[in-house]
Each structure stands twice: as C-alpha cells, then as structure tokens.
C-alpha cells in the first residue's frame, strides 16, 4: 500500500492517457473497461475499452444516446453486473477499476458489496421503480444505513429524518413513514438521493437522475446534487443523454458512442470547441431557448449501431456526414484511437485538426 500512496503523490492530469502501470493516481480510475454480454445472437459489446479518471470533488458527465454503454459502465463500477445474476449468462468484464487505491474487478465480491452504498452510491433514473413499493421511505433509508453502520433502528431512523431534511423534504419526521407512491416524482428522487447519501459515499453515480422528472423539478434536483457535492466533497458521475444537464454540473465531459469514448475533455472545451462529428450532432440536436429559433433542430441521422456488429473502422462512420473526407476509405477500415488535440482534450476521429476546425467554425457553430 505504501507504494500506492507514493505513486498517488506524483499525481496526473485528468484525461491523461492510461498506461499499463498499476499506479492509481486518481480517486477513481477506469482502465480499458470492457463489458460484454453473451447472447444467443452474439456477443453484445456494451462497453468496449473505456478509460477515464475522476478526482474527489469533481464531476464527470458521461453523455451518449441510448445503448452507448453509459449505464452499463456505471453498473460495472458498482459491481452490479455480477451481483445476483441467477442462472443468467454472466457478463464478461475485463479491465481495471481503481477506487481509492483498490482494484474492484479482481476484488472479492463481498468486499465490493461492502463498498457499495458506503464508498460508492448510485441514484437511479426512475425513483418510482427504484424504490420498493412495499416499504416506507424511512425503512428503506434505515436499511441502507444499517447495512454499513452497527446502530439500532432508532438511531438510524433519526439519521434518515436528518437526511430527508437535508435533501429538502418538508416535514421529514412525518414523511419518513410515507410510502414511495405517496410522494411526488421530485420528492421521490430527493428521497432516493437522501438514501444514496446516507453513508457519506465518496463516489456518487447519478444515472439519468432527472430523465423521469418534470422539467421544473429537473433543475431543483440538479441544484441539489451540486449543493450536496460541495458539502460532502464527493466525486460525482452524471450519466445522461441530455447535454443541458452536464452543462450545468460537469467539470469534465466524456462522450460515448458504441461502447467507446469518442471525445473527452473539460466541459468548456467540449461545449465550445467540440472535435468529434458525433458531439457536433449532439449539440445540434439540443433545443435552445436562449437563441432565436431560425433553423430546425439538426438530428443525428440514422440509428445507434448494433453492439453485436459494431461497424468496422470508426463506429460512427455510417452516420457521419464527413466520413468521406479522410483519404483511402480509412474511416471504414481503421478504428480511430483517442488523440489529444490540445492539453486534456481528447477525441477519436480521422478528420485532420484543420478539417475539424473549418467544419466546426464554418458549418456547425453558426447554426447553433
């Protein structure tokens, strides 16, 4: 362990390419994560070589459309692909996940279980289905607390009320005995957040935390997550398909496509100098009300790739309007690797920096 702490001190910039060295410099480091599911139709490569780092107090936004591997990644970090998968064909997981100096994929499953809920916690998309309908909110929070703390029910209940109060639920001492169906959607998500934060986790993964909510409630929940992060100083991963959400919260953004990272960098860089045509597409399909509506939204054409037969070359090539610009049909034969266009800003695209600069400034940016 002393070796690790020595290495920790050397530090590394966020977004630096991952090497084979077993030195976890960041609080959370994912290295070449692959999550494959064997099915009757073939191997589904949901996540196919994903690497990133995250420091405490930082927020990483993982963006991508349905089936890009966002949720699979988060469940992989939590170790939920292997827990209780009765008789199903097991997911094949490889790579490394380092959390606070401990590698999780090779760790004893019960050790990972002890970390779940205490060191790392998760907020799910739909709080109605994610809460047990037969138990009161209080009971469910008490359970989450008592799994990791050896306290009596009364103490745990006090803690639950305290957390409900903290996430802004009115009359928490009464609402603690309410059932999930007696809460509104926003209140349910607050309760879910209270439950996930009850053990002061250092890593919080929010998987589409606002997708199932009313638009007016969305902003409140995002504010709440931001405030709580400041208060607890935890590392946060926000998973979403909504660029507006990450714009509000994230320090860094990772854009996923077909189970891989296509662009990664600080939120500013990704928003104002995006390098990958897929990121352009996402930006173009985002509705804006702060600008005059002169043009229609530009959707990303086509549909997400099959994860069983990922297109050869660049996975995005069948949908990319610029796939023919690079020479020798290279977009359809060679898979582009992540390359650093400037410090801390990575993207995987065959277009030359000059071509990207020109397309972004001349064709894409004016329409946004």
Partner 1 sequence: MLAYLIRRLGAVIVMVLVVLLTTFVIFYMLPKWAGQDLAVLFAGKNSGAEQLEGIRQKLGLSDPLLVQFAEFVKGIPFGRDFGSGNNVTHCPSPCLGYSFRTEAPVWETIKDALPVTAAMAVGAAVLWLLGGVAVGVVSALKRGSIWDRSAMVVALSGVSMPIFFTGMIAMGIFVHSLGWLHIDDSLSSNDSIGTWVETLILPWIVLAFLQAAMYARLTRATMLEVLGEDYIRTARAKGVTEPVVIRRHALRSTMTPILTVFGLDLGILMGGAILTETTFNLPGLGREAVQAIDGKDLPMILGVTLCMSLAIAFANLIVDLMYAVIDPRVRLG
Quote the least distance from Cβ 37 to partner 1, whole Å: 15
Residue with tokens 């998987």: 207
Out of 9, 154, 181, 327, the residue judged to bind partner 1 by CB under 8 A? 181
130 scored as a contact of partner 1 (CB under 8 A): yes
118 scored as a contact of partner 1 (CB under 8 A): yes
179 scored as a contact of partner 1 (CB under 8 A): yes
- Tell me whether strands 252-257 and 339-342 are parallel, antiparallel or unpaired: unpaired
Q: 335 exposed, middle or buried (CB, 10 Å; 0-12, 13-18, 19+)?
A: middle
Sign of torsion over alpha carbons 171, 218, 62, 76: positive
Quote the least distance from Cβ 237 to partner 1, whole Å: 14
Cα–Cα dist 45/258, whole Å: 8
Stretch that binds partner 1, among 110-118, 216-224, 238-246, 325-333 (CB under 8 A): 110-118
The residue among 144 and 236 lying less far from partner 1, judged by its C-beta, is 144
- The encoded tokens of residue 161 equal 């009320």
Note whether 61 and 246 are within 8 A (CB). yes
Number of Cβ atoms within 10 Å of the Cβ of 267: 19
129 scored as a contact of partner 1 (CB under 8 A): yes
Closest CA to 54 of 268, 234, 231, 258: 234
Go through the chain and tell me how many residues it has: 368
Quote the least distance from Cβ 224 to partner 1, whole Å: 19
Stretch that binds partner 1, among 118-126, 224-232, 314-322, 346-354 (CB under 8 A): 118-126
Kindly write down the DSSP assignment for every residue of 185-233, as one continuous string.
HHHHHHHHHHHHHTT--SEEEEESTTTTS-HHHHHHHHHHHHHHHHHH-
Quote the least distance from Cβ 73 to partner 1, whole Å: 15
Q: What is the DSSP letter of 349?
A: -
Interface map 145-164 toward partner 1 (x if CB under 8 A) = --xx----------------
Quote the least distance from Cβ 235 to partner 1, whole Å: 17
Out of 52, 124, 316, 360, the residue judged to bind partner 1 by CB under 8 A? 124
Quote the least distance from Cβ 111 to partner 1, whole Å: 11
How many residues touch partner 1 under the rule CB under 8 A: the total is 32
117 scored as a contact of partner 1 (CB under 8 A): yes
Note whether 15 and 44 are within 8 A (CB). no
The residue among 121 and 245 lying less far from partner 1, judged by its C-beta, is 121
For the chain, the straight-line distance linking the first and the last C-alpha, in angstroms and rounded, comes to: 50
126 scored as a contact of partner 1 (CB under 8 A): yes
83 scored as a contact of partner 1 (CB under 8 A): yes
The residue among 18 and 80 lying less far from partner 1, judged by its C-beta, is 80
Q: Which residues, numbered 23-52, are part of the site for partner 1 (CB under 8 A)?
A: none
88 scored as a contact of partner 1 (CB under 8 A): yes
Out of 26, 104, 131, 300, the residue judged to bind partner 1 by CB under 8 A? 131
116 scored as a contact of partner 1 (CB under 8 A): yes
Cα–Cα dist 18/158, whole Å: 44
Q: 231 exposed, middle or buried (CB, 10 Å; 0-12, 13-18, 19+)?
A: exposed
Cα–Cα dist 143/220, whole Å: 26
121 scored as a contact of partner 1 (CB under 8 A): yes
Helix (H) or strand (E) holding 356: helix 353-358
The residue among 83 and 297 lying less far from partner 1, judged by its C-beta, is 83
Sign of torsion over alpha carbons 66, 72, 73, 78: positive
Q: Which residues, numbered 185-244, are part of the site for partner 1 (CB under 8 A)?
A: 195-196
Cα–Cα dist 293/308, whole Å: 39
Residues near partner 1 (CB under 8 A) are 78, 80, 83-84, 86-88, 113-118, 121-122, 124, 126, 129-134, 136, 143-144, 147-148, 179, 181, 195-196
């Amino acid at each position: 362990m002393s070796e690790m702490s020595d290495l920790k001190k050397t530090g590394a910039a966020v977004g630096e390419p991952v090497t084979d060295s077993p030195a976890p410099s960041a609080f959370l480091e994912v290295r070449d994560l692959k999550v494959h599911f064997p099915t009757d139709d073939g191997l589904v490569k949901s996540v196919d070589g994903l690497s990133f780092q995250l420091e405490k107090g930082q927020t990483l936004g993982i963006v991508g459309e349905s089936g890009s591997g966002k949720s699979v990644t988060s469940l992989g970090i939590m170790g939920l692909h292997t827990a209780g998968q009765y008789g199903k064909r097991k997911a094949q997981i490889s790579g490394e996940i380092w959390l606070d100096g401990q590698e999780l994929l090779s760790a004893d499953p019960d050790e990972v279980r002890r970390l779940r809920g205490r060191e790392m916690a998760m907020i799910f998309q739909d709080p109605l289905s994610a809460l047990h309908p037969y138990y009161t909110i209080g009971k469910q929070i008490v359970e989450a607390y008592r799994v990791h703390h050896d306290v009596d029910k009364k103490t745990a209940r006090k803690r639950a009320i305290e957390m409900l109060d903290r996430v802004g639920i009115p009359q928490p001492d009464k609402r603690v005995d309410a059932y999930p169906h007696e809460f509104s959607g926003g209140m349910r998500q607050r309760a879910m957040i209270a439950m996930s934060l009850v053990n002061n986790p250092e890593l919080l993964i929010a998987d589409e935390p606002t997708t199932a909510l009313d638009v007016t409630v969305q902003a409140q929940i995002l504010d709440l997550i931001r405030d709580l992060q400041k208060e607890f100083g935890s590392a946060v991963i926000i998973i979403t398909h909504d660029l507006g959400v990450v714009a509000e919260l994230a320090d860094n953004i990772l854009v996923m496509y077909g189970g891989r990272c296509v662009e990664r960098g600080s939120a500013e860089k990704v928003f104002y100098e995006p390098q990958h045509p897929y990121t352009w597409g996402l930006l173009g399909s985002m509705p804006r009300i702060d600008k005059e509506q002169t043009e229609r939204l530009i959707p990303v054409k086509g549909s997400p790739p099959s994860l069983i037969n990922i297109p050869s070359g660049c996975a995005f090539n069948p949908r990319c309007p610029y796939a023919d610009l690079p020479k020798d049909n290279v977009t359809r034969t060679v898979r582009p690797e992540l390359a650093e266009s400037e410090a801390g800003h990575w993207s995987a695209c065959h277009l030359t920096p000059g071509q990207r600069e020109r397309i972004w400034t001349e064709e894409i940016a004016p329409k946004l």
